[in-house]
Structure 1
Amino acid sequence: MTEHGTSAGVPRWVKVSGLIAAVLALLVVAVMLINGGEHGPGRHMSSGLSTPLVDVDERGRQLG
């Protein structure tokens, strides 16, 4: 005879934890897609830089 209340399967808390992790992962992907991929170091730079990133002369030519 089998005992009642015992199970050889995966515990319920593991299933629930996996489901929550999967939902959170899908939520993160959805937010990244909706955001338009605006992430990375370029996001932290202003669009109107006051100083150039390279040295240029008065004609706009790159120096040395």
Structure 2
Amino acid sequence: LPIDLQPRDSLMHLAEYSKFALDNKSQNYKLRISQFHTNISTASDSLSSSWNILLHCIIQ
């Protein structure tokens, strides 16, 4: 799962993960990601702990 990140007025960075899963409606469609690729990614792994909260807020 490649995720492109671009902060305002900054260069684009890539966070690459090997595994991801999307839960069902009863679990509020939580996106679970794991196995961050340090050798491919140009961003740090800042999404593993906060991504579930962010996605939940967007869907609601």
What's the TM-score once normalised by structure 1's chain length? 0.21
* Higher RCO structure (Cα 8 Å, ≥6 apart): 2
Q: Highest Rg: 1 or 2? A: 1
Bigger fraction of residues in helix: 1
Q: Which structure dedicates a bigger proportion of its chain to strand?
A: 2
